[in-house]
Amino acid sequence: MANLFGIPSTDLGHLLVFLVVTLAVGLSLSRWLTRSLDGPALLPRVESALYRFVGVNPLAQMNWRQYLGALVTMHLVGLIFTFAILMLQGHLPYNPQKLPGLEWSLALNTAISFVTNTNWQAYSGEASLSYFSQFAALTVQNFLSAAVGIAVLATLARALRQSAADQLGNFWVDLTRATLYVLVPLSCVWALLLVGQGVVQTLAPYLSATTLEGGTQLIPLGPAASQIAIKQLGTNGGGFFGVNSAHPFENPTGLANFLEMIAILAIPVACVDMFGRMIGNLRHGRALLIAMATIFVPLVLISLWSEFHYPLALEGKELRFGIGSSVLWSQVTTAASNGSVNAMHGSLSPLAGGLALVNMLLGEIIFGGVGSGTYGMVLYVILAIFLAGLMVGRTPEYLGKKIQATEVKWAALGIILPSAVVLLGTALSVLTESALASRANVGPHGLSEILYAWASAANNNGSAFAGLSANTSFYNLGLGLAMLVGRFGVLVPVLVIAGSMAQKKSAPPSVGTFPSEGGLFITLLVGTILIVGALTFFPVLSLGPVVEHLLMGTGKAF
C-alpha cells in the first residue's frame, strides 16, 4: 500500500475527505446560525407561546450582568433538576432494569458534568442509568448547555459590532432560538440518519440472549440515537453506553462513524464563521478558522505518523474502522471539546495520546465546543493583539475598539484559570495516596492518566484516558469543581469583556491599526497560542507522554 511518511494513503485520503466535507457542512450551517440568532423570529407564534409559558419578556434587553444572572439561574436550576433525577431514578418511570439511584458524589459529579457541557462519565451508562435519567436529565442538558455556548458567542459578537451601548440582547431569546432553530432540527435529522445505520432507539427492556457456548448474555438497549445525535452535534460527548462510540449500538457502521465525526465539528466550524458574519467582518472569522486548522491538521498528521511508525498492541483500537479512524476521532473529539471516543485513548501511542491531551491543554480553542471554542479563541486574539501593540508602541485595537487593561486582565484570567486547575489538581493527585491508587498504570503513563483527567474536566472536554478509576469521592468532587471553573472561569471573563467593549465607541481603521484578518495576524495568533501552551504545560508533558515516547523507542512500555 502506498504511503507518505509511513501513513497509508487511504488514511490520508480519509482525512482529506473528512476535512472537505466538514468545512462544507460547517460553512453552510453558518448562514442558518446567523439567521437564527441575529434576525427576526422564524416561528414567532411558537416563540411567543414559549416566552408566555415561562414568563419571559422577549423585548427586554440585558446588560452583561443581567445576562450572566439569567445564565447562572438556568444552570443552577438545571443542576438541581439533574441531580435530583439521578438520585431518585429508582423511584421514577422508564426504568425497566430497576436500577437504583446513584451515590450522591457520583450524582453531583454527573450533574455538573452535563450542565457544564463537559459530559465526563465516571459511570457506565447501561449499568447505572435508567432510560428516564438518560433522556429527561442528560439529553435535556445536552441541548441546554450547547445552546448556552451559542448564546454567549452571539452576545460577544453583538458587543463588538455595536458602539457606545450596554444592551447585549436577551439570554432567554438566544437560548430559545439556538435550541429551537438549530439544535433540535439538526438532532432530529442526525438521529434518523443514525437509526438508519442501526443505532438503537427503543424503550424496550434489555434482552437476554443465549450465546454460542450456551451461556446467557444481557444485551442493553435504550433510546440511544436521540442522545447520540445531540451529544455529537452539541459537542457534549457523553455516551449512552459505557464504552461510548466504540459500542456497536452507538456506532455500528463506517458511515455512522463518519457521520458522527462530521457532527462533532460541524457546528463549531459554523460558529466561527457565524462570528465573522455577526461582527460584519467575514474575513476575520475565516482568519480564526484558518488559525484553528493550522494547529489541527499538523497534530492529526503527527498523531497518524506516530501510530503507524510505533505500532503497539491492538488492544483499545477500533479494528472495525481501522487505526487511522481511531486516531482521527481522538484528535477531532479533543479538539472540539466533545469527549466522545471510538477507541481508548490510553491505548494510543504516547505521542498520539499526548497530542490529544495537548488539544485540551491549549484551552479547547482549536474549534472547541459549540460557541465556547470561538469565544475562547477571542481571549487569545485579545492577548495576541495586545502583544502586537506592545511591539509597535501603539494602543492595541480590536475591530475598531481599543483594548485596555480591563480586557487584557480578564482575557488573561480566562486563559489562566483552567490551566491553574489542571496543574494544581494533578499535583494534588500525585501527592494523595487514594488518588494514586486509581491509576491503572505506573510511571509516565500513570501520570498521563491523571493529567488527562484534570485537563478533560477543567477544559470541559469529558473524554478519559481509559485507565483511571475516577468514581471515588476525591475525583468526583475534585473534577466536579474543575468542571465548574472550566465553564464559568472562561464564560464570565468573556461576558465582562463583552460588556466593556460594547460601551466603547468604534473607530475606523487607520494606518497604525494592526489588521486582524491577514497572514501576519494568523501567524501571531497561532504563535501566541503555542507559546502560552508550551510555557504552561511543557514541564508536566515532558514527565508524561514525552518521556514515555522516548522510552518506547528503547523498547520499554507501560
| Res 539: pLDDT | 94
| Res 368: pLDDT | 94
Q: Are 15 and 328 in contact (CB under 8 A)?
A: yes
Hey, what's the cell of 166?
450596554
Given a cut of 60, whether residue 206 has pLDDT beyond it is yes
Residue 106's closest CA among 391, 472, 368, 381?
Answer: 472
pTM of the model: 0.94
| Res 1: pLDDT | 45
Q: Cα–chain-centroid distance for residue 145?
A: 11
Q: Which pLDDT band, with edges at 50, 70 and 90, does 512 fall under?
A: low
Given a cut of 90, whether residue 390 has pLDDT beyond it is no
Residue 371's closest CA among 191, 237, 521, 174?
Answer: 174
Average pLDDT of the segment spanning 185-191: 96
As a whole number of Å, the CA-based R_g of the chain is: 23
Average pLDDT of the segment spanning 108-121: 96
Average predicted confidence (pLDDT) for the chain: 92
User: What's the pLDDT tens digit per position in 76-93?
Assistant: 999 999 999 999 999 999
Distances in whole angstroms, Cα of residue 60 to Cα of each of 42, 147, 167, 173, 304: 19, 20, 9, 10, 51
Higher pLDDT, 267 or 166: 267
User: What's the pLDDT tens digit per position in 464-506?
Assistant: 887 889 999 999 999 999 999 999 999 999 999 999 999 998 8
Given a cut of 80, whether residue 351 has pLDDT beyond it is yes
| Res 467: pLDDT | 81
Q: Are 443 and 471 in contact (CB under 8 A)?
A: no
| Res 394: pLDDT | 77
| Res 318: pLDDT | 67
Backbone torsion region of residue 400, taken as left when φ is above 0, otherwise alpha when ψ lies between -120 and 50, otherwise beta: left
Distances in whole angstroms, Cα of residue 388 to Cα of each of 212, 498, 528: 68, 21, 10
In 175-316, the DSSP E strands lie at 207-210, 216-219
| Res 295: pLDDT | 97
Average pLDDT of the segment spanning 366-383: 96
| Res 340: pLDDT | 94
User: What's the pLDDT tens digit per position in 277-295?
Assistant: 999 999 999 999 999 999 9
Backbone torsion region of residue 280, taken as left when φ is above 0, otherwise alpha when ψ lies between -120 and 50, otherwise beta: left
Given a cut of 80, whether residue 5 has pLDDT beyond it is no
**In sequence order, what are the residues at sequence separation of 6 or more whose Cβ sits closer than 8 angstroms to the Cβ of residue 177?**
36, 37, 41, 42, 47
Per domain, the residue ranges of the chain are 375-552
Residue 183's closest CA among 147, 225, 133, 223?
Answer: 147
Given a cut of 60, whether residue 199 has pLDDT beyond it is yes
| Res 316: pLDDT | 60
